[in-house]
């Protein structure tokens, strides 16, 4: 299994994306997002996505070089159409807009219409939290997951992220979760590593739970009706509200899919003393840390802390690339005429 430093992997990822049709700026921003996920151990949302992103450019699902188009702005809210721009670029722009509105109004809401795959959306909420804002992000896409009580794919694995700033420059508290039992990327990662998936993640074409990642026909929702209900509401807030519904038209056979996003920001100063908010949140964090660990658990951790720990370790020791991911990157580089870096030769 190759091990690579984050900077080398970012450079190579940007080269592949640029050769695959992204503009230099889009390639750089997307590579930064992908490697951020790899650093934190979220390999399902890391560079293993690059071959698929290149295919999405070739098929028109991603369109490079698009400029954001303002659809509507009303007080603390706005909607932009991104013309299927790379998700990292579109959501980065939407998050910045939401942050600016939050500074002006206390809250900012930016609907991101017609984007492409948004990746690890905790990246965007973390950036807002590092600016002292509470960041909230959601993303919606085509059916990948079953609806509780129904057969086949009906909803997407729509993710939700909330990030809260912490005092003293500490890394934000970041929740980043899928509404499915597992993100699709983890099944992709299992295919790359040749490992089985746990029961409870997905079902095959017959609706039977499977441990074979290659036999997956639909992902199961997280916590049954809770996961499918939350995914449905994210589709309404991210897609239906901005006039670009995805799930309904797909289920009616009117279109194949699409992607939308939502970025929100809250300025704690709009609700009271911002320093009191962060200190109170830190007191809560301390109380959670002080809980007695259950049997077999080393420490009680806050949302995002495991990723932070992995990032420190991988920043020092390098990022391990599963053999399947390395193989796919090599094949993509050869297809695009990009020279292989030393860690893949």
User: Between β-strands 173-178 and 202-203, what pairing exists: parallel, antiparallel or unpaired?
Assistant: unpaired
Alpha helix positions (H), 64-120:
87-105
State the pLDDT at residue 77: 98
pLDDT at 207 over 90: no
Residues above pLDDT 90, as percent of the chain: 92
Q: Among 189-198, 250-259, 269-278, 331-340, where is mean pLDDT lowest?
A: 189-198
**Non-local CB neighbours of 270 within 8 Å, separated by 6+ positions:** 102, 105, 106, 107
Show the domains of the chain with their CATH numbers: 1-64+320-345 (1.10.1530.10), 75-180+225-303 (3.30.1370.60), 181-220 (3.30.60.50)
Q: What is the pLDDT of residue 246?
A: 98
- For residues 123 and 127, what is the distance between their CA atoms, to the nearest angstrom? 6
pLDDT for 154 equals 95
* Whole-number Å distance between alpha carbons of 19 and 23: 9
pLDDT-wise least confident of 88-102, 184-198, 219-233, 305-319: 184-198
- What pTM was estimated for this model as a whole? 0.94
Closest CA to 147 of 138, 157, 139, 137: 157
**HSE (CB half, 13 Å, CA atoms) of 300?**
12
d(CA 230, CA 223): 10
- Specify the pLDDT at position 112: 98
- The pLDDT > 70 percentage for the chain reads 100
pLDDT tens-digit map of 194-206: 899 999 999 998 8
Name the phi and psi angles at 141, rounded to 5.
Answer: -150, -170
pLDDT band at 142 (very low <50, low <70, confident <90, very high): very high
């Amino acid at each position: 299994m190759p091990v690579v430093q984050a900077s080398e992997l970012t450079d190579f990822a940007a080269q592949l994306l640029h050769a695959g049709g992204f503009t230099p700026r889009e390639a750089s921003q997307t590579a930064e997002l992908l490697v951020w996920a790899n650093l934190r151990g979220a390999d399902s949302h890391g560079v293993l996505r690059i071959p698929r992103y290149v295919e999405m450019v070739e098929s028109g699902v991603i369109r490079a070089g698009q400029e954001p188009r303002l659809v509507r702005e009303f007080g603390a809210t706005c909607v932009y159409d991104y013309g299927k721009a790379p998700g990292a670029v579109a959501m980065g722009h939407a998050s910045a807009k939401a942050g600016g509105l939050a500074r002006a109004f206390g809250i900012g809401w930016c609907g991101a219409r017609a984007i492409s795959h948004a990746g690890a959306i905790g990246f965007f909420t973390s950036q807002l939290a590092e600016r002292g804002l509470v960041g909230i992000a959601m993303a919606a896409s085509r059916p990948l997951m079953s609806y509780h009580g129904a057969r086949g794919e009906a909803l997407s694995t729509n993710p939700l992220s909330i990030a809260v700033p912490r005092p003293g420059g500490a890394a934000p508290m970041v929740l980043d979760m899928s509404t499915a039992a597992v993100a699709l990327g983890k099944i992709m990662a299992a295919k790359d590593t040749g490992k089985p998936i746990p029961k409870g993640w997905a079902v095959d074409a017959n609706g039977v739970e499977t441990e074979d990642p290659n036999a997956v026909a639909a992902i199961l929702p997280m916590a049954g009706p809770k996961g499918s209900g939350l995914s449905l509401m994210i589709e309404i807030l991210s897609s239906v509200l901005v006039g670009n519904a995805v799930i309904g038209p797909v289920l009616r056979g009117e279109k194949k899919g699409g992607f939308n996003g939502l970025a929100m920001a809250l300025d704690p100063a709009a609700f009271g003393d911002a320093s009191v908010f962060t200190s109170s949140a830190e007191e809560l964090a301390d109380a959670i840390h002080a809980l007695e660990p259950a049997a077999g658990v080393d420490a009680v951790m806050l949302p995002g802390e495991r990723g932070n720990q992995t990032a420190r370790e991988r920043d020092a020791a390098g990022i391990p690339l599963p053999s399947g991911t390395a193989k796919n990157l090599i094949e993509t580089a050869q297809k695009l005429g990009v020279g292989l870096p030393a860690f893949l030769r």
